[in-house]
Structure formats: C-alpha cells, structure tokens
Structure 1
Amino acid sequence: MTFSPSSLTSKKAMAFIVLSILLLLTLVSAQNKQINITLGSSITAADGRLALAIRPICLRILPQGLTGFAIGVWLATSPNRTIVWTASRDDPPLTDGSITLTFDGRLLWGASGGQEKAISQASEPVTTASMLDNGNFVLYGTNQQVIWSTFSSPTDTLLPGQSLVSGSELYSSVSETDRSTGNYRLNNQNDGNVVSYPAGTLDDANNAYWDTGTFQIGFPITLALNSNGVLYITGNNGNYSKNLAQATTSSGVDVYYRAIIDVDGILRLYSHTFGTNNASTTKVEWAALNDRCLVRGVCGLNSYCDLGPDGEPNCLVHRASNLSTLIKFPLVARVTPPALETAQ
C-alpha cells in the first residue's frame, strides 16, 4: 500500500501493531492531522479486520453481527470501539476483500470472483482520499475539491463539525452490534422543526415523541455539533441559533464528542475522554428524553410502558379475567444501549 509522502512527516513513523485478531495500520501525522490515500492504494482485510487510522479515529473493515463485516469509521474507545459511520448499512455482511481507490478514481470494495461494490457516490473521478482527525473520510477531485465525504451521508451519528441539513434524517441502528437501520429516526424537517419518530411512520404529530419546538420558525434550520460539545440548531443565514445541549466535560485534544439517535430512539450527546495507554471514559452529557417510556412505539399495540426502578422500560398488557379485573404481565424485552455514567 502506498501513501503520499506528506502523511509521513510526524515524529512517529509508520507502525504496524498486531493484536490477536486485529491488524491495525496506524499513521499519525501531528502536522497535517490527516492521512492521504493515493490512486492505486488499497486497505486489505487481515484476519478479516484492518483499519486506516488517525488515532482515535479509524476507517475500518468492522464486524457486522456474527456472520461478516461492514465498512465503517470508528472511534477507538475502550473497552469497546464506538462505530460512528457505516457504509451501505443495510447490505448483506461482507466476508472478505479489500477497500481500493482505483487508478480510474473510484473507491470500491472488491472481493474474490470479481465482486465489486462502490463505497461512495462521488460526482467525478477521485484523485486522493483522506481520513481527517475529526472523523470525516473525504474524497477529493481535481484541484483538491471535496466531492464526497462521510460527513455528507451520516447514518445515526453527528461528529464535531458535522451537520444535519434540512430535509435529512438520522436513523438508529438495530443494536450495538448490528448497524443496520433500526426502529427510530431523527428528521430535520423542511418546516424548521427537528423531530423524532418511529421508523416507517408518517411525519405526523401523532407519531412524534420529541422535537426542538421550532415548527413555526419560518425558515429551514441545520442541526450541528461543534468541537466544544455544543449541540445546536441554526438558520436564517446564521442570524438564528439555539443551543440544545452543552457538554459539561471540558473540551480539549483528548476529548471527543458525538451526538447519536441511540438504539432506543433517544437523541443523546456523549463525550469520550482519552487518557494514558489508550484508555477512555464515556459519559452521557445530555439526553433529549430521560424517560424511555416516552419514546413512541417502545411497546406494541394493546400494551403500555412501565418504567422500572433501574430506568428500563417494561412493556405490559392488560388481560381481563372478568369485566372488573385486569392482570398485567411483561410483554417483550427491549434492546438497550450500554450503561454509561450520566452527567449531573
């Protein structure tokens, strides 16, 4: 694999670190803060997994469920890595192959038997690609113009510097290990309101369970996250701005933020603080809802949600043994995000 010389200017040279089942290719550039991939380069799975990284951000061939792999960008948190973007998230899992930036300017997944699949939908041939330290994987055309990026096609997450423009949506994942499209969506509507709905429902007030309260604002807005951990909406050519959340963890070179519509349908703001030996701590800085029973669709028809003492929703139904007696019992178990420290 070849890379442009400018990506090798840091004090740390190219290093190969082999971890039991993971071969991680790490190039660190303290000056340029990015890794450039030239035409003809490829990232090939070794034991199924390989990453192109500026720590702690990586472009990686990553596990997808129990049967294969997907292509994505992860944040190197511990003990588990945090996936922040997935390519073609609803396609069948991959089994082998490599990511290649071809000589004719296409970013492809290729496998045995001549299989090929485009990873990006660039508008013109690509000349170089870069993994930026803010988590954005960028493709450049002629004159180093950006023609495609992962920031322009978010899945469930916003990173610092990334925006959700009017008319766009984030979709939750099925689970922490299955990054396919899940049960909830966050819609930045054209009427200026950002609204949470169950997936597959109409943009109707009867289906909504959270919103920014800006449906009468009169102009489109953008939902954005900045490097200081502020999640905000802005519009009217910058003349309007409203903060939704402000991280309490101090920003710095060792702190990363992300906003995500979680598996359970709630929009949350997280901070990840990195310490020595690549250790990290994760903290919930803000949640749009504190009661998970308020998420519409968390329980099925003819059932209701009862929040347990541990904060977990229990779905219950009424069963009439006679006209005056109702018996309630658990209906389903719900998939929940990992337990994390909550900001005070």
Structure 2
Amino acid sequence: MAVFLLFLLSSVSCLATALAQQSHLNISLGSSLTPTGNSSSWSSHSGLFAFGFYQQGNGYAVGIYLAGIPGKTVIWTANRLSPVFPSNVSLVLSSDGRLILQHTQGQDIVIADPSESISSASMLDSGNFVLYNSDKKIVWQSFEHPTNTLLPGQQLATGHELYSSASETDDSMGIFRIKMQDDGNLVQYPVRKPGSPGYAYYASNTFGNGVTLNLDGDGHLYLINSSLTILSNLTKGGYPQDGRVYMAKIDVDGIFRLYSYSSNQGNRSILWESVEDKCTPKGLCGPNGFCTMMDNVAECRCPPGFDFVNPGNWSSGCERNFTTESCKSNSITNVKYEIRSLANTVWEDNTFATMETSTQEDCEKQCLDDCNCEAAFYKDGECRKQRLPLTYGKRTSDSNVALVKVGTLVSISESVIPSSPPKSIKKEIRVDILVIGISLAVFGVMISVTAGVYVHRNQVRAYKKITQSGNVEFVEDAAPKAC
C-alpha cells in the first residue's frame, strides 16, 4: 500500500511537471540578455521565477531567482567559482545550440553544456530552467545541477552536494556543504575537510542504495531509496500550498533549512533546520576563532592576544596581535609570555604531547616552558599541548579549559640586562665619545688660532723694526730678514 501511494505521488508529481512544461514561454535560438538592457531575464509563464542577470556586488551574476517575490531570492547561480561579471557581457542562446556568456573582450563562458545541440529553452513555473533538443526533449536542466537550494519536485541525487554561499551578498561557493552520500547518509561537512565522520556536524543516519533527498509542494522533505521506501521524514509536510513557495537551502551559516515563502507578502518562515545550535557548523568562525551564543544568535570571538583577520568576515578567523620567534632563534627579544584561560571552550584536539598534571597551574607552566606549545587544553588532570591554528572552536558546557599563550612587550629596564650592552646603550656611549672628541677638536682649533695670531703679531712688529732700519733683502720663499 505504501509503495502504491508513493507511486501515485510520484505520478502526480510527474504530471504536474509535465503540465508546468506545457505552460511555458519558448526561448528560441539567437535570443540574448544583457545586464543593463531592457531584456535582462527570461521569466516563467506565471512570472514567479526568472532566469538571467541579477545584481551582485559591483557586477552581475547569472542565475534563477524568485521574481514574483520582493528581494529577488536567488535559488541557482551559474559559474559559482567566479560568478560576478561586468556590465559589458551578454547571455546568448547561440545559433550553434549552446548557452554561453559572451564578453566584449575575453573568452566566452559556457553556462550549460548539454550532451547534444539545443534548439530552444524555457524557464518553467516549477523554477527549473531547461534546454530542449530538436525533438523537444530536455537535454539539460538546472534541477539536475543544484547549487545551494532545492525546490519542490527537485531531488538531491546520490553523490550530489549543495554548497552554501560565501555571504548573504556573495553567491560564490562558501565554506559548508551537504552531501547525499553513496551509502544513503545525508551529511553536512566543512568544505575544506574530507567527508569523514570526524568532520560531520549533521547526519541523517540513513543507509541504503540509490537514496535521494526529495521536496514536495506541500513542504514534505524526505529521504527515499531506490525501492521507493521512505527512510526518513525530515518534515511531515501537509503545509498550505496556496500562495506559498517551499525551498530547502543550505545557508551561509552552514545550517540546512526548509523555508516557506509567501508570494503575496514576500515574507518567509523557517519550518525545519538541521541543527538547533547555531555554533554547531564546524568552521563558522575560522582559524583560531570560537563561536558563542548570545541571545540565540551565534557570535564569533577571538581568544586573548588575537584579533580578527577581517572584522567583516568571521570565517577568515583570528591572528596573533603580537610577534613571536621560532624555537630555533637565539636572538634576544623583549617579549614576555603568559597564559590566559578560557573556561568551557573547545577546539578540535590536535594534541602533540599529553601530560598528567594535578592542577591547571601545572599545565600552564608546562606550556610556558615549552616554546613549541602555543596553547593547551586542561581537563580532568590531563594537559594536552596544542599548536596553532586552533580549529572549530566553540563555547560549550564542557569542563575543558583552553590555555592560550600570549606575548606582551616589556621595557628594557624590566628585562634582564645581558652581559654585552644592548645596541641602544652602545649608541649612547658612541654619542658621548663623539661629543668629547668634538669639544677637544674645537679647543685645539682655538689654541691654534690664538697661537697663530700671537706669532703673526710678533712677525708684524719685527717687520716694522726691520723696515725702519733700512737693511732689508728678500730671499725667495722666505720671510724678509735683516742683512
């Protein structure tokens, strides 16, 4: 009976899709769009969905969005690794049967690459953008290449993934993903980590062959296997369908949610989400950062001695606000280290050394005495030394205490004076010697000048006496002398 009902539902869904395909606006070969012209998009028959250009930062992206709802909610984006284009581009359904983005300067970009030539295209009322061959058979459709959103009638097939956006205003690929795995388990991971259980932060815990994630028009989100057996109902469905659009989306914060959009008022509501704790997604606060909940809002913070790399982008993480030297360096520094503690705070445990210690103070000393130790975790009498970066940090009820090594600059008088004078002292000594030398030189010049004047006056007096006596002869290269 259950199989029959599923077959019936599937048949109804297929019939609805077929009817939606019949009521569409045909886009012929040679048609084109421009970002700033009168024709910037191709709309569905109902006007609810549109395919074309939309504003993105200082440029334009190509995608599908809800045109009938204020705000242009984007549900699909082309070329996500580099989605933003200048205004001097055009989207063309070319005469040779390709959907391409043409630059006035530069190489064309293929937006859709079907296995055979196309003869027309359509933006369907289901939100699916399709390309047809000459027999009116669909040879490419956006529903088979989802980016971050699923619409009713759309599946996330085995081996396929959805990727979050980089930010609310940037639809390039973000840092979270949800994957329909080959083993039938729907799992969420950070993008930069492999799909191993240790990095998962949500899992449906379903298993089977040919499992797909499905969304129906009444908001029913569920997992079904190849035998049409429902493995898990993520939502029960049965929500009102008049004037509402349902969509499942992996958001910027890494949480997978089911939304209900009102096509009349433009507002939305959350019907279901994969995790309740907004600090659960791993990597939300980037390297060295940690997440904490403030009035049900996730907030990223930096540990003591660290500042945000980019205050406007939490996922960029935190970096030290002081300089350090490697353990191999023998140079003298004016940095004094101390330990700052963060209670009930955890990061991913990448321990390089573990010691049994009786107190937290012992653990702090162990880290201070080890130049390789940049942080340590203390819990239940165990001290676990860590190196940077610290990853996947969050505030929890866990009794773990994070101990972070922080450096501060100290004055020369506060530090131990080394056996050889510092460079600054040497400079002061050299200045004193220079002043004394200059003084002696000036004194010497003054004596020389005085002596010269005295000799000169004596010579003048002698010269006068000689000239008065009248006995004078000149000798070459010699002063006048008496004969």
Alignment of 1:1-344 (within 5 A): 32-47=22-37, 50-54=40-44, 55-65=47-57, 67-76=58-67, 78-91=69-82, 93-95=84-86, 96-113=88-105, 115-214=107-206, 217-246=207-236, 249-252=239-242, 254-275=243-264, 279-317=265-303, 326=342
Percent identity, aligned pairs only?
Answer: 37
Separation in 2, partners of 1:123, 1:137:
16
* Between 195-204 and 300-309, the greater mean CA deviation after superposition: 300-309
Find the residue that maps to 1:174 and give its secondary structure: strand
Contact 1:172–1:265 (CA under 8 A) maintained in structure 2: yes
Q: CA deviation at 1:161?
A: 0.8
AA matched with 1:317: P
Aligned residue for 2:170, secondary structure, equals: coil
Structure 1 residues 318, 192: closer, same or farther in 2, change over 3 A?
farther
Q: Give me the TM-score of the superposition, normalised by structure 2.
A: 0.57
Q: Which residue identity is paired with 1:193?
A: N
What CA distance in whole angstroms lies between the structure 2 residues aligned with 1:75 and 1:324? 50
Distance 2:302 2:340 in 1: 18
Aligned counterparts of 2:168 and 2:147: Cα–Cα separation in 1: 14
Structure 1 match to 2:390: none
| TM superposition shift of 1:249 | 4.3
Amino acid at match of 1:170: L
**Could you report, residue by residue, the CA deviation over 1:217-268 in whole angstroms, capped at 9, with x for unpaired residues?**
232310111111111111132134421124574112x211110100000000
Q: What are the superposed Cα offsets for residues 113-165 of structure 1, whole Å, 9 maximum, x if unpaired?
A: 47422110110000110110011000011321111011111111111111111
Q: Deviations over 1:64-84 (max 9, x none)?
A: 22x211110001365421000
- DSSP 3-state at the match of 1:263: coil
C-alpha distance in structure 2 between counterparts of 1:31 and 1:141, whole Å: 14
For residue 203 of structure 1, report the CA deviation from its aligned partner: 0.8
Provide the C-alpha distance between the structure 1 equivalents of 2:293 and 2:93, rounded to a whole number of angstroms: 50
Structure 1 residue 186 displacement after superposition: 0.4
Distance 2:180 2:277 in 1: 22
Q: Which has the larger radius of gyration?
A: 2
- Match of 1:179, SS state, is strand
Question: CA RMSD of the aligned region, Å?
Answer: 2.7
Change in 2 beyond 3 A, CA 1:32/1:306: same
- Structure 2: gaps spanning 5 or more residues: 1-18, 306-336, 346-483
Query: What amino acid is aligned across from residue 274 of structure 1 in structure 2?
Result: S
CA distance in 1, matches of 2:283, 2:293: 14
Q: Is the 8 A contact 1:247 1:286 kept in 2?
A: no
Counterpart amino acid of residue 89 in structure 2:
G
Cα gap change, 1:101 to 1:207, in 2 (>3 Å):
same
For the Cα contact (< 8 Å) 2:21–2:124, is it kept in 1?
Answer: no
TM-aligned CA distance change 1:304 to 1:98, over 3 Å: closer
User: Please, which moves more after superposition, 145-154 or 103-112?
Assistant: 103-112
Q: Distance in 1 between matches of 2:107 and 2:21?
A: 38
| Residues 30, 294 of structure 1: alpha-carbon distance in 2 compared, 3 angstrom cutoff | closer
Offset, 1:299: 3.0
Counterparts of 2:160 and 2:20, CA distance in 1: 34
Matched to 1:192, the amino acid is G
Deviation for aligned residue 1:30: 9.6
Paired residues, number = 294
Q: Return the structure number with greater strand share.
A: 1
For 2:68 and 2:78, the matched residues in 1 are separated by 20
SS at match of 2:279: helix
1:90 offset after TM fit, Å?
1.3
The structure with the greater share of residues assigned to helix is: 2
Cα distance in 2 for residues equivalent to 1:305 and 1:248:
36
Q: Which moved more, 1:52-61 or 1:175-184?
A: 52-61
Distance 1:197 1:144 in 2: 39
The structure, 1 or 2, with the larger RCO (C-alpha pairs under 8 Å, 6+ apart) is 1
Instruction: Give, as a single letter, the amino acid of the residue that structure 2 aligns with 1:166.
Output: T
Inter-partner Cα distance in structure 1 for 2:21 and 2:199: 49
1:73 aligned counterpart, secondary structure: strand
Tell me the TM-score normalized by structure 1: 0.78
Aligned CA distance change for structure 1 residues 239 and 247 (closer, same or farther; 3 Å):
closer
